[in-house]
Amino acid sequence: MSTTSPPRHDVPDVVAAEVALEQAHVDRVYAELGKADARAASVEADGLARGRTDRTGDVRDEEMTGLFERDALVFAAARRRASLETQYEGLVFGRLDLGDETSTAADREARYIGRLGVRDDDYEPLVVDWRAPAASAFYRATPVEPMGVVRRRVLRCKGATVVGVEDDLMVPSAPDDLVVVGDGALMAALTRSRGRQMRDIVATIQRHQDEAIRATSRGVTEITGGPGTGKTVVALHRAAYLLYSERRRFEHGGILVVGPSAAYTAYIERVLPSLGEESVALRALGDLVDGVTAARSDHPDVAALKGSLRIRRVLARAAARPPAGAPTQFRAFVAGHAIRLDEPTLRDIRRRVLRTHQHNLGSDAAREHLGQAAWAQVRSGERSDFLDVFDGSREVDEFMSAWWAQVDPREVLLGLTDTDDVSRLAGGLLTHDESARLALSFVDALEQGSWTVADAALIDDLAARLGPVQEQVAEEVGFYDIEELDDLAAYGVQDVRVGVNGRPHSEGGAIITPADARERLLQGRIEPPSSYAHVLVDEAQDLSPMQWRMVGRRGRSASWTVVGDAAQASWPDLDEALRARREAYGSQPLQAFHMDTNYRNAREIFDYARDVILPVVPDADIPLAVRETGLLPREVVMRDGSVSSHVRQALDELGAEVDGSIAIIPPTRWHEDLRTFEGALEGRVQVIDPLSTKGLEWDATIVLDPDGIAEESPGGARVLYVVLTRAAHRMTVLRPETYYR
């Protein structure tokens, strides 16, 4: 933002003339873009024509070369065309006028900035890619350090049409022939309406944000700051910049973006394509393990139990147990000898193999140890002859298929549904009550047919211990088969399903059996973790230690960008999480950037939220809100009428005051009752739970029962602080009357 107050020329005719001037240049750019698209289409057609042959039989070397050239041309051309197509919206968004305050129009250079570089037929630049060094002054120039910039202009476009311009002057006074219009690009952007997807800030990046975006790619980059400071969009722009500046490294190795929820990934998924990059994997924490999709949340006590590193030793013990149904003795007749190996011997073999092998990769070693133990009983004839016969024995094959069966890590968790069994397994690690809560959570999984977000990290930990399944695991028979259901139907009972504890159970309107639920929990295959060149973690303060280990397995050789704010944490033990985070980083160097300006919330809204968090977190990172509306948040005590009627009234008021998106954020107990409001006001309204608001923003919010939100949420007032900082322009807080009696 400019620190000077230059004269502004906001007369409609003057503004229209400036818009028309910029439209002429934008038209040139799109004309050139059309020619580039035609050239790419021609290259693609030429590529398809190459390598064709009417001959049959063996393909000769030159034909293979032609096919390779064809595929390379088609791929490159198709990619270029796709890139051009995704950049049509707001392709040109900025202009720099380079010179000084004494320069004339003839002396000044006009440099246009956009989402990708475009040149004319003479190879002269019409648009400079925003990530290029030549564009850096657009973000780094200030009135104190203008970097040769006289005027910075932001173009607002709808498709290929310029609809407005906003200027920032970088010199004390404008040259006589230079027009300055608007109220400044940043403030204009802050007052616009929000949609259902995150907008990129590529046209209004500020200097301190640009420094974080263009920082060295090596090691770990941590970006901290309070709510509304633009941490997330800065990190996403950094991902796009890294792909541009070191494309070979990051495109080949890939960039992983990890967010707190599916709502978050849906919110940000369009930002990177709009910045010209698609070589990025977006994953919510519950979707990070290939083969697992989890969106359900545990009770905070259970989530804390599953997220703590204490659970690792419980998982280690569970993974070391024999597979369900494994025999406890080995009996066979081999090479004329009766072999008998008892349970302690088998247990000792298992222990020795697991010291050096993952279970699913240890079958051959286990078979070898078993043969050695059998030979120790026989010691007759040639040892090699006996072992050859042993290795080819069908009885040994049958024993090994049961004793050393391949184990899906999810099966291990589903074996932890009995409280007494879990209590014995977790002796010295968990209390009996903790064991009971853990067991009940997996009973719930079997009833609902879905994993929780915290379960994903446990599955990943077990997968790392067990190794990848080497063959298809046979499907288990469910608790109830189809014949039993047919018998019930014969007595007039229709569509009967019975839950794990004998209770009918339904999910999403479809009633399911325990067998159905188990099958859903075991769908797909757990794949080894992919390795990435760069890992970006947003809302890092919410990751549990176990989740940090899960993310770390995907970034062992990666550089990192990590974004967070401790005052917004929903994970209770920040010290344990910090240790796990540092372990995930390894020994890489760390650089830190701090964002201290709140661009999202009107100051009146943020002051309300600040007063909630400071008594709980006195050292909270409190940014400076730069925008005022003069309107305080509304507080309403719901004394008369239903909750829905109060929400309806608040929604009607806010709908008339803002043009953009509105969120209704209730505690869990009110969520179902308010689903009818989802999509109201022509799709502008969203009903969302408190934890899923992480990283999101709306024009206005209705916060229902804030005390209830704090009571039910992990992190308590910290989560409420998040909820209270989601609104950009208006906020209404509805409180039940019972809290005031």
Residues 6+ apart with CB under 8 A from 640: none
Closest C-alpha to 633, from 708, 572, 701: 701
CA distance 186 to 613: 28
CA distance 151 to 573: 49
Which pLDDT value is given to residue 133?
94
Which pLDDT value is given to residue 536?
97
Instruction: For the domain made up of 207-289+529-598, give the CATH fold.
Output: Rossmann fold (3.40.50)
Closest C-alpha to 234, from 533, 699, 561: 561
Which pLDDT value is given to residue 189?
64
Cα 468 to Cα 361, 525, 546: the distances in Å are 8, 9, 20
Which pLDDT value is given to residue 101?
85
CA distance 423 to 433: 9
**The domains spanning 207-289+529-598 and 603-740 adopt the same CATH topology:** yes
pTM comes to 0.80
Query: Would you list the domain boundaries of the chain?
Result: 12-190, 207-289+529-598, 294-320+410-521, 330-404, 603-740
Q: Is 254 left (phi over 0), alpha (psi -120 to 50) or beta?
A: left
Which pLDDT value is given to residue 496?
33
> Which segments of 267-355 are extended strands (E)?
280-284, 294-296, 330-334, 337-341
Which pLDDT value is given to residue 44?
55
Which pLDDT value is given to residue 190?
62
Polymer length in residues for the chain: 741
- Ranges of the chain whose pLDDT falls below 50: 1-6, 53-57, 59, 64, 66-68, 70, 73-75, 77-78, 80-81, 84, 87-88, 472-511, 739-741
Class of domain 603-740: alpha beta
Which pLDDT value is given to residue 741?
36
CA distance 276 to 257: 16
Q: Is 457 helix (H, G, I), strand (E, B) or coil?
A: helix
Which pLDDT value is given to residue 737?
85
Which pLDDT value is given to residue 306?
98
CA distance 705 to 454: 26
Cβ-contact 690, 704 below 8 angstroms: no
